[in-house]
Chains A and B, each alone.
Chain A
């Protein structure tokens, strides 16, 4: 039997269905012959000439380097997701800085160099719908990709999840929540509500419990306190112990009308809807209009999403009595749909 030479072997594997086109091109680029013995193996073994061209890596550092490269690749992929978010330039820069610093510290630790104790617990301030939870979720995955957090998942809680109803209940509830969040991110929304109830409120017990957990599990838990800017300031002043334990502050500014419009287009595109030219102009006008505010406490991106969801319902209602609907009809949001949605706001 005539031996099949590289790269013909790769193309034969594609034809046989044992290699995807992407994999074949990657093996071609790296000069690697396909591994012998894979299902549907055609020739039995890679050609000897290819073996000699790709020196095998050996030694303990080979696996470590590969793992580090994979970690870097994954973390860059997560950062790309962050970059895809509209606006938030300051937030993106802060996350990069924190991630870069944490990575270098971790690499220094592994290399046996001196490292400072790095506390990653954070305070997120900003109005509703400015992307705090979204960024917290990305941050968890980013730190997981960097090897700083073991799991990187997000546990989002509020006062009711932490504070109990009788003496001793709060500590149990809070500890259970912390246990669920270990290895990932504990995101406490409207954290100041924990301190609102006065001296006898159980919220204070929850804060003490959280502060202790934030110290004890610094290596495996990232705690994020989030809420409105002014209230968070008040909260931190009321609890001086928190200031030093939550050294990183990230502010999420309100979106500009142009950014809100971009978000609207992104949301619609993701759901395979599109606006007519007339509807686009109307939406731009609404987002910039003096009488209408989506910024501040009105809800920013969340308010836009609510408006669009109403518009989708109005579109469905408009199409209700039409027997024949084409793809275009099903995808198009008109000015009338938006006007109806705004009326029922």
Chain B
């Protein structure tokens, strides 16, 4: 199963996008083994599995699992299980995973570069090298200053692809779903 990772800062809007995506796809979210998550390899006693995931069928290309990576802040998270998930997601982000980089465009519009964490800049740098394996989701587009933020994100992060979305109004969610359904096997970084 291929992986699509909703990655970004805490509070960027990842969970809302995942739920809006499930609503638009008219699919239930899956949990644990039903979502195909391998239970092996977790540290003992750690929760270490994403709460829910959206599993999409891509026909002859198999299935795509869309899940939310615990927020990438400026400091390591206190929960070892969530850190375990982050580390798996980072390994996937630079190899075969599809990175859906979620950034709060309204915050960037209102607060400028202060609203971006190091992880945002670095994920965008990964995006430049991944090409097809990266999509910037400019989230919270229904809020004031989001249009300014979107323009700044285009200029500052120079993403190969960007999609403005709003989980509240549904803007861009159907487009994201179409994009995900067209996902083909991706090349990891460094491969030819």
A-side residues, CB < 8 A to B, are 7-8, 10-12, 14-26, 28-29, 77, 80-81, 83-84, 265-266, 268-270, 274
Please name the 7 residue pairs, one residue from A and one from B, whose CB atoms are nearest each other, closest first.
A22-B118, A25-B122, A22-B119, A15-B87, A17-B76, A11-B87, A84-B112
Query: Which of B76, B114, B121 has most A Cβ within 10 Å?
Result: B76
In the bound complex, what is the Cα–Cα distance between A17 and B123 (angstroms)?
Answer: 19
Which listed residue, A14, A84, A268, touches B90 by the CB 8 Å rule?
A14
Complex interface: chain A residues within 8 A of B86 (CB): 14-15, 21
Q: What distance in Å separates the Cβ of A78 from its nearest Cβ neighbour in chain B?
A: 10
Which listed residue, B43, B119, B145, touches A269 by the CB 8 Å rule?
B145
Is there contact, CB below 8 Å, between A20 and B76?
A: yes
In the bound complex, what is the Cα–Cα distance between A199 and B56 (angstroms)?
Answer: 84
Complex interface: chain B residues within 8 A of A17 (CB): 76-78, 80, 83
For B93-116 the 0/1 string (1 means CB < 8 A from A) is: 110000000000010001111100
Complex interface: chain A residues within 8 A of B78 (CB): 17
In the bound complex, what is the Cα–Cα distance between A16 and B90 (angstroms)?
Answer: 14
In the bound complex, what is the Cα–Cα distance between A11 and B72 (angstroms)?
Answer: 13
In the bound complex, what is the Cα–Cα distance between A29 and B129 (angstroms)?
Answer: 10
Judged by a CB distance under 8 angstroms, whether B144 is at the interface is yes
For B135-168 the 0/1 string (1 means CB < 8 A from A) is: 0000000011100000000000000000000000
Which listed residue, B74, B90, B120, B121, touches A24 by the CB 8 Å rule?
B90
Is there contact, CB below 8 Å, between B123 and A25?
A: yes
Complex interface: chain B residues within 8 A of A81 (CB): 112-114
Residue of B nearest to A280 (CB): B144
Complex interface: chain B residues within 8 A of A22 (CB): 72, 74, 117-122
In the bound complex, what is the Cα–Cα distance between A22 and B76 (angstroms)?
Answer: 10
Pull 23 A–B residue pairs with CB atoms less than 8 Å apart, ordered by A.
Answer: A7-B94, A11-B90, A12-B87, A17-B78, A18-B76, A20-B74, A20-B75, A20-B118, A21-B86, A21-B90, A21-B119, A22-B74, A22-B118, A23-B118, A25-B90, A25-B122, A28-B122, A29-B125, A81-B113, A81-B114, A266-B144, A268-B144, A269-B144
